[in-house]
Amino acid sequence: MSENATLESLTQDTEEREPLTKKQIAADTPTWCPGCGDFSVLSIYYKLIQKRKIYHEKVTTVAGIGCSSRFPYFVQAHGVHYIHGRALSFATGVSLSRPDLHVFAFGGDGDAFSIGGNHFMHTARKNVKMTYVVMDNFVYGLTKKQTSPTSPIGFKSKTDNWGAFDRPINPMKLAISAGATFVARSSHTNPKHLLEMMDVAMDHDGFGFIECLSECTEFYKGAFDPTNPRKGGVFDLVPEDHDVTDEAAAYELASEDFPGKFGIFYKAQIPTKNALETGLQDTAKAKFEGKEDWEILQSTFNRMK
Amino acid sequence: MSQSAVNKDDSGKESQASDISEAIIRIAGNSQDGIQSIGGFLARLAGRSEQEVMTMMTIPSTISGGPSIFQVRLGTGDVLSPGDDADVLLAFYQHSYEGHVSNLREGGLIVYDSDHVEPNEEWLKKYRHIGIAISSLTVEAIGGTTRDKGKNIYALGLIGRMFNLDLEKLERLINERFAAKGENVVKPAMDAFQAGYRYHSDDITNLFNFKNGTVDRSNQVVMSGNEALAYGLIAAGVRFGAAYPITPWSDIMELLRRELPKYGGSFIQCEDEIASVSMAIGASYGGRVGVTGSSGPGISLKTEAIGWAVMAEIPLVIVDIQRGGPSTGMPTNVEQSDLNIACFGGHGDSPRVVLAAADVEDCFYTAIEAVNIARNFSVPVFLLSDQAIATRIEAFNEPDLKKLCQDLAPDLTPVQSHKPYDLETETGASHHRVPGTRIEDGRYPVVTGLEHDEWGHPSGSPETHKAMTQKRRNKLKALAKTLPIPEVYGPESGEVLVVGWGSTTGPLYEAVEKSADNGSAISALKLRHINPLPEGLEDIFSNFKRIYVVEMNDGGVYGYGQLASILRARFVDARIQGINKTDALRWKVWEIIDRVNERLSPDPALAND
């Protein structure tokens, strides 16, 4: 297997290459509705790739199913449009077997917290190295306005005509309690902040999770106006004195009522699944130094004679 | 042990030693007695001597306690199946005695632990009984209070004596087995073994004598079907897998978790079956063939993701160790009822490859074949085994590992341009450039579960869907052309051809041998490639008047089992009939012969199942 990816190896190359232009990164024209929050997230992803001078082949973009999960088609990079809810499991397979790549996963709230809820918890607790951005719009958009796991109580959808009454999932609390090692919150209405979050998340050695509020103008218009100063709301940053390594403080921050705070809630440095698995391999391989694979297998077969 | 000759020695006095070419020994006790390790020793001994071996083992779902059996068939000729009725029953407890006596052939020998078993008056007349105080003699031999421990090794000694097995080799095996645990384990084990071997009674010494075999078996390895399958995957170059524990699949994932790191690989235990298959597909996308596996219920859960791999054209190996179903069903019993889900499970038209391993050795080679087909045709490949093959131990010729082992490191050579779903490839299969590959024209592929055009862009065009559906199907047709035509076992033409797959094959072959001895020859055909089928089967079928597909699954509403239905649909041949059973036990040879004879009987009442 290849050497572990460092951020340097993502940008360095044996030959000098010009950094990519936005035109080179952009692929298919997005199919989202006009005004969709996902446009901002996409353009910030382009900006991140440009800013970090990453080449096409060094990143892999994985998504599940949903409006936001169309993401990979719009990026000129190796990409995967997988099945509903399982993007993180797929991305784990790539991350663990290809340490030379940086894996980005994108998805929506249904993908992440409903059908994929189990995988969200386990990918977080295993601390698999990747960056996961959930574009949370509080509604099922692709299937045209059903209740989502993050729809607030009282939200009127086609499956809750009278207003939703199941309590929504709080993605930040879920991420912290599941053991995610980088937990941040941002909004499409503040692209500069989102870029900052993605930039830091990418440097995080572990599972980096960002909940990015991303408005569905078609089925939940105005949902995030309270976070948007231009619409009379407040974009309230995480207080400067917040200790990002304090899990309880992070949980308290996450418990605030909507619209809540934005920024890094929690950050911990623990070994990644990738590093632990590699460690296991290094120990196991050490006993067979200089041996070809067939010779290792032969030594096992010799004991079965 | 068919020929039970009574020999006379020089003095004219009768000795009991019979020359035998094979024996079926069943050992019954509780899980914690280490019954299976007796079988393991016998199996390994056989692998190092003139005897070929096949064993059958059942493991109750309980962790400790409860009945446990191990049946070993030792033979100096080709051992084709686990065998039908046992010649010898070694019973540790009353329940093992009572529960297994029905599996003993008439006139068979029962060796029982007289500390625990009270023989039944009626059975004393039907079977030969030898009572030995195994428990107390073991305690006596080892000393101390290690009650219940070492009984298995003592019993191994007894068996060694009864069958005149190679003492030196057995002692070496015991040493090897326990050496790592230190002298304080080796010594009591050796004491128990020698006490058993030296147990002296006219009843038990020199009962049987194995005839020397004719075949050189010096270069054999001994392992279970699940082990062979797992090592086959390693030899094939698989370095990543993911799964969730389920019986009887779990041993494979445990082995791969333990072994793969030596080769720089990983096997990941996931939160569920869906994550497992998805992670394996992710690794395949990353450039090496990923593997996942399960049994019954777990396979159902994986089907959506398998459909994605069909659509996106990503290689994948899915191992299914079949057990009794549906639902939780019978986790520790055998059945061949997952063929339909393997061939057709999932939504939409989703052509995939299905291979079935027929015995332990075949598990090793079929695993390699599955990986290569998955790679060459960018398609999910089901590798079917079953509980019976998974848990039994066989000796087989050592594979040439130097020649067979493959390196599947991904190729990251830059390319000028890449059309991920090119319609003009030779076989129809896509060959993806893996992530990390630089593509000079700057157009990077998205692999997708949406219907797509040649560039991987989502497409709703009727023409595209038609062309891509054909592409995914035609690559299986291309594969079919490369598959070897299976060989008929027995006469090339005749009245009856029995067709089978998986663990049914061994008993079928033995039925062919037995029926030849009885002058009513039948022939057998083993199918290893089930989807697609190899070409040329119709020519084989045309040489027989009747074709019976023998399976361990239900004949269903219309009277044909799962393989029979596929063959009938393929060949539209009314001669293809099903012989099925659903007792979740493996086929016995006499069952097959009886069921075929019933079909041949002019009495219509007998001809009905």
**Angle value at C-alpha B108, between B102 and B109, nearest 5 degrees:** 105
Q: Report phi then psi at B468, rounded to 5.
A: -75, -35
How sure is the predictor about A141, in pLDDT bands with cuts at 50, 70 and 90? Answer: very high
Does residue A198 register a pLDDT over 60? yes
B65 has pLDDT over 60: no
Distance CA B430, CA A182 (A): 38
What are the pLDDT digits (tens) for A74-132?
999 999 999 999 999 999 999 999 999 999 999 999 999 999 999 999 999 999 999 99
DSSP reduced 3-state for A81: strand
pLDDT value, residue A5: 44
Residue B442 backbone zone (phi > 0: left; psi -120 to 50: alpha; other: beta) = left
Nearest CA in chain B to A92: B279
Distance from CA of A160 to the nearest CA of B (A): 28
Q: Minimal CA–CA distance to B258: which of B249, B250, B270, B267?
A: B267
In tens, the pLDDT along B510-528 reads 999 999 988 889 999 999 9
Residue whose entry in the numeric block shows the structure tokens 């000098």: A16
Identify which of B6-15, B64-73, B384-393, B597-606 has the greatest average pLDDT. Answer: B384-393
Interface of A with B in 111-130 (CB under 8 A): 118-119, 121-122
pLDDT at B6 over 50: no
Residues in contact with B547: Cβ distance below 8 Å, sequence separation at least 6, in sequence order: B496, B497, B499, B541, B567, B573, B575, B576, B577
State in Å, rounded, how far the first CA of chain B is from the last one: 32
Enclosing H/E stretch for B478:
helix B462-482
* Among A131, A125, A62, CA closest to A272: A125
| Residue B2, pLDDT score | 39
Sign of the dihedral defined by the CA atoms of residues A281, A283, A289, A291, in that order = negative
Task: Decide the pairing of beta strands B393-397 and B220-224.
Answer: antiparallel
Q: What is the CATH number of domain B222-404?
A: 3.40.50.970
Q: What is the pLDDT of residues B151-165, one digit of tens each?
A: 899 999 999 888 888
- Write down the pLDDT at residue B315: 98
Instruction: Say yes or no to pLDDT of B77 above 80.
Output: no
pLDDT at B167: 86
Residue B70's SS3 state is strand
Nearest C-alpha of chain B: how many angstroms from A84?
10
pLDDT at A240: 97
Distance CA B592, CA B514 (A): 11
Model pLDDT, residue A147: 98
Nearest CA-CA partner of B157 in B142, B143, B167, B147: B167
| A24 to chain B, closest Cα gap in Å | 7
So where are chain B's domains? Answer: 7-218, 222-404, 411-469, 488-607
- Cα–Cα distances (Å) from A207 to A90, B131, B410, B513, in that order, read 14, 64, 25, 61
Measured between CB atoms, does B222 come within 8 Å of chain A? yes
- Please give the Cα distance from A211 to A198 (Å, whole number): 11
Q: Over 80: is that where the pLDDT of B324 sits?
A: yes
Give residue A113's pLDDT. 98
pLDDT at A1 over 50: no
Q: Which is higher by pLDDT, B150 or B504?
A: B504
Cβ distance of B401 and A298 shorter than 8 Å: yes
* Least confident stretch, A124-128, A246-250, B144-148: B144-148
- Per domain, the residue ranges of chain A are 7-270
A94 with B282: Cβ contact below 8 A: yes
User: Is the Cβ of B288 closer than 8 Å to some Cβ of chain A?
Assistant: yes
Q: Which CATH architecture has domain B488-607?
A: 3-Layer(aba) Sandwich (3.40)
- Scanning B63-179, the segments in alpha helix (DSSP H) are 94-100, 121-126, 134-142, 151-162, 167-178
Closest-CA residue of chain A to B233: A297
Q: What is the average pLDDT value for chain B, to the nearest integer? A: 90
What distance in Å separates the CA atoms of residue B499 and residue B356, rounded to the nearest whole number? 13
Alpha carbon distance A123, A25 (integer Å): 28
| Residue B355 dihedral angles phi and psi, to the nearest 5° | -115, 145
Q: Write the residue in A81, A277, A292 that is nearest to B266 by C-beta.
A: A277
Chain A partners within 8 Å of B263 (Cβ): 285, 293, 296
**What is the pLDDT at residue B168?**
86
Residue B451 to residue A201: CA distance in whole angstroms: 33
**Taking a C-beta distance cutoff of 8 angstroms, is the pair B500, B526 a contact?**
yes
DSSP for A30-77 reads P-PPTT-THHHHHHHHHHHHHHTT--GGGEEEEE-SSSGGGGGGGBSS
Residues B259-282: tens digit of each pLDDT: 999 999 999 999 999 999 999 999
CATH class label, A7-270: alpha beta
Query: Using CB atoms and an 8 Å cut-off, which of residues 544-583 of chain B contact chain A?
Result: none
- What confidence score (pLDDT) does residue B214 get? 63
CB atoms within 10 A of CB B276: 30
Instruction: Provide the pLDDT for residue B373.
Output: 98
Reading phi first (left if > 0) and then psi (alpha if -120 to 50, else beta), residue A52 is in alpha
Burial of B86 by CB count in 10 Å (0-12 exposed, 13-18 middle, 19+ buried)?
Answer: buried
How buried is residue B38: exposed, middle or buried, by Cβ count under 10 Å (0-12/13-18/19+)? buried
Which H or E run contains A147? strand A146-147
Q: Do domains B222-404 and B488-607 have the same CATH topology?
A: yes
pLDDT band at B219 (very low <50, low <70, confident <90, very high): confident
Q: What is the pLDDT of residue B449?
A: 97
Mean per-residue pLDDT for B533-539? 97
**CA-based nearest residue to A133, from A81, A179, A195:** A195
B279 inside 8 A of chain A by CB? yes
pLDDT in tens, B496-512: 999 999 999 999 999 99
Flag whether pLDDT at B7 surpasses 70.
no
Beta-carbon-side half-sphere exposure of residue A207 (alpha carbons within 13 Å)? 25
Find the helix packing angle between B151-162 and B134-142, rounded to 10°: 110
Whether residue B231 has pLDDT greater than 80: yes
Closest Cβ opposite residue B435 in set A89, A94, A304? A94
Q: Tokens standing for B264? A: 């720089």
Report CA dihedral (B595, B599, B602, B605) to the nearest 10 degrees: 70
pLDDT per residue as tens digits for the range A12-47: 555 678 899 999 999 999 999 999 999 999 999 999
| Confidence band, pLDDT 50/70/90 cuts, at residue B5 | very low
Q: Please name which of B396, B395, B394, B431 lies closest in space to residue B413, comparing C-alpha atoms.
A: B431
| A-B contacts at Cβ under 8 angstroms | 191
Query: Residue B597 and residue B158: Cα distance in Å, rounded?
Result: 41
pLDDT given for residue B11 in this prediction: 39
Question: Closest chain B residue to A74 measured between Cα atoms?
Answer: B446
Rounded CA-CA distance A163/A37 in Å is 24
A246: contact with B, CB 8 A cutoff: no
Closest listed residue to residue A117, CA positions, set A171, A60, A176, A182: A171
Closest Cβ–Cβ partner in B44, B281, B434 for A93: B281
**Confidence tier at B71 by pLDDT (50, 70, 90):** confident
The token pair at A289 is 């130094």
Q: Is the Cβ–Cβ distance between B142 and B184 less than 8 Å?
A: no
The rounded distance, in Å, linking the Cα atoms of A71 and A42 is 7
Which residues are B290's β-sheet partners? B240
For the cut 90, the answer to whether the pLDDT of residue B210 exceeds it is: no
Go through B94-121 and write b for each residue having 16 or more CB atoms within 10 A of its CB, e for each that does not: ebbbeebbebbbeebbbbbbbbbbebbe
Give how far A193 is from chain B: nearest CA, Å. 29
Nearest by CB to A294, which of B401, B443, B458?
Answer: B401
Per cent of chain B over pLDDT 70 is 91
ipTM attached to this prediction = 0.96
Domain B7-218 class, CATH top level: alpha beta
Q: Which residues of A touch B280 (CB under 8 A)?
A: 93
Chain A, 28-87: which have a CB under 8 Å from a chain B CB? 28, 55-58, 60, 62, 72-73, 75-83, 86
* Predicted pLDDT at B519: 85
A268 vs B: CB within 8 A: no
Report chain A residues whose CB lies below 8 A from the CB of B437.
57, 78
Segments of B483-562 assigned E as strands: 488-489, 494-500, 523-526, 529-531, 544-551
Query: Which residues have a Cβ under 8 Å from the Cβ of A297 and sit 6 or more positions away?
Result: B231, B234, B235, B401, B405
- CA B559 to CA A57: how far, in whole Å? 55
